[in-house]
Amino acid sequence: MCKVARSTGVPRPARPSRAAVSRRPRLRTIALVGIDGSGKTTQAQRLAATLTEAGRPARYHRNAGGRRWLGRAAQRLGRPDAQRLLGRDAMLVTESVLRWLAIALALLGCLLSGRVAVMDRYAVCQYASLRAHGGQRWERLVRAGYRLFPRPQVTFLLTVDPAEAYRRIEQRGTDHESLEYLAAADLAYHAVPEYPTFVPVRADRPPEEVAREIRGHLAGWLAAEGDPADRDSGCGEVRAVPGATALIPARALP
């Protein structure tokens, strides 16, 4: 005789599916930020190439604010720099608008192509620039305009002593920044509200060591996306493999 289990009348809670438990945002945007001379451009270009070679197509985006280009234009017109040409406030507003456009185009490219956007500078760079140049009164307005942009899944803050950054800038000879400004920018990056979400990386080491540490921080994201069956053409979500999140520092988690 077959026994039938008697119901207690209390419904069992629905168990979440395995896919629902393990799903997490797909790696879409990585930002490298820090003062001029910290090596952002070098590391961002390397990272985009490394991700692409590993089968995770990525594109490098240099989200410049136009200060270098405007500085060259100012020199042709007999002015020492862009700020002396336009004035401090006009220069900061112009820089904010140009960087906003650059970031918007980069994010649009991610949506259309499905590539990871490796950002050389992001919104927080503009906030730090405003603070370092004494333009704090513009920050609230600029933040309102930049609020449209999502926070990157991972933001690396490349840290270097301002004196070393100054030496590197002078050595490359394409632009100039005062040591006072670099010190002020370094303080600004550590003072912005976004600072606790950054993954700090010491950038006063050989580029190969810096690149290796950055790749190590991203190992969990790449492992989670390693199954080709989980890849799609957009910027959606993928299944994470068990244990992958253990490789991701807490500051890098979405």
Q: Provide the pLDDT for residue 232.
A: 40
Q: What pLDDT, in 10s, does the model give residues 198-209? A: 999 999 999 999
Provide the pairing of β-strand 23-25 with 237-239. Answer: antiparallel
Q: Which DSSP string corresponds to 47-100?
A: HHHHHHHTT--EEEEE---SHHHHHHHHHHTT-SSHHHHH-HHHHHHHHHHHHH
State the fold for domain 25-252. Answer: Rossmann fold (3.40.50)
**Sign of the dihedral defined by the CA atoms of residues 77, 80, 81, 83, in that order:** negative
Count of beta carbons in the 10 Å neighbourhood of residue 59: 16
Q: Provide the pLDDT for residue 75.
A: 61
Phi and psi for 177 in degrees, rounded to 5?
Answer: -135, 140
- Which of 184, 146, 145 is CA-nearest to residue 162? 184
DSSP 247: G
Provide the pairing of β-strand 29-33 with 237-239. Answer: unpaired
For residue 43, how many C-alpha atoms fall within 13 Å in the half-sphere facing its CB? 33
Q: Provide the pLDDT for residue 221.
A: 77
Q: Provide the pLDDT for residue 123.
A: 97
Beta-strand runs (E) in the chain: 23-25, 29-33, 58-62, 116-120, 154-159, 199-202, 237-239
* C-alpha to C-alpha distance for 58 and 49, rounded to whole angstroms: 7
**Sign of the dihedral defined by the CA atoms of residues 230, 30, 42, 197, in that order:** negative
Q: Provide the pLDDT for residue 2.
A: 47
* C-alpha to C-alpha distance for 35 and 208, rounded to whole angstroms: 19
Domain assignments of the chain as residue spans, ordered by start: 25-252
- Residues of the chain under the 70 pLDDT cut: 1-25, 66-87, 224-254
Q: What is the CA radius of gyration of the chain?
A: 22
Q: What pLDDT, in 10s, does the model give residues 68-118? A: 666 666 566 666 666 666 667 888 988 999 999 999 999 999 889 999 999
Q: Provide the pLDDT for residue 89.
A: 86
Q: Provide the pLDDT for residue 26.
A: 78
Unique residue bearing structure tokens 């994010």: 107
Q: Provide the pLDDT for residue 149.
A: 96
